[in-house]
Amino acid sequence: MRVVVQRVREASVQVAGQTVGSIGNGLLLLVGIAVGDQTVDLNYIVQKIVHLRIFEDAQGKMNRDILELGGSVLSVSQFTLYGDVRHGRRPSFSKAADQKQARQWFDELNSNLRKHDLTVETGVFGAMMDVRLVNDGPVTLILDSERQC
């Protein structure tokens, strides 16, 4: 499982010109699910997202997590995070999970984030989406469950 985490002041996602999810201060998550992802991958990613200390404290240091901030999450599925462009000119998506499996893990990820009392908005799985954001910092990190060790 691979997630691009962006600290945002605001973010929204639109489908066919209609806003389907929006947040203020918090995290925008671009979520890619890989073939073979398991519960251990999901748990690792959820714990990292919830406890990442990337929000500033009173002294301007990154010491607060999303829970301390009281922020929200906008979660957007993005299979292209598993696009492999090492060979040729067209990306290969052979490492990306199939749609059924990816949707199941994406929904479970968001459900588990909500269990931490986070407000979680989402895009529409599998749809063409327009994502807008105001990146705060900018702060952008990549989480990858394959690189846990």
What are the catalytic residues? 78-80
CA distance 53 to 10: 18
Name the H helices within the chain.
Answer: 39-51, 66-69, 99-114
DSSP β-ladder status, 119-122 and 72-77? parallel
CA 12 vs. chain centroid, Å, equals 13
75 closest CA partner among 33, 40, 137, 37: 33
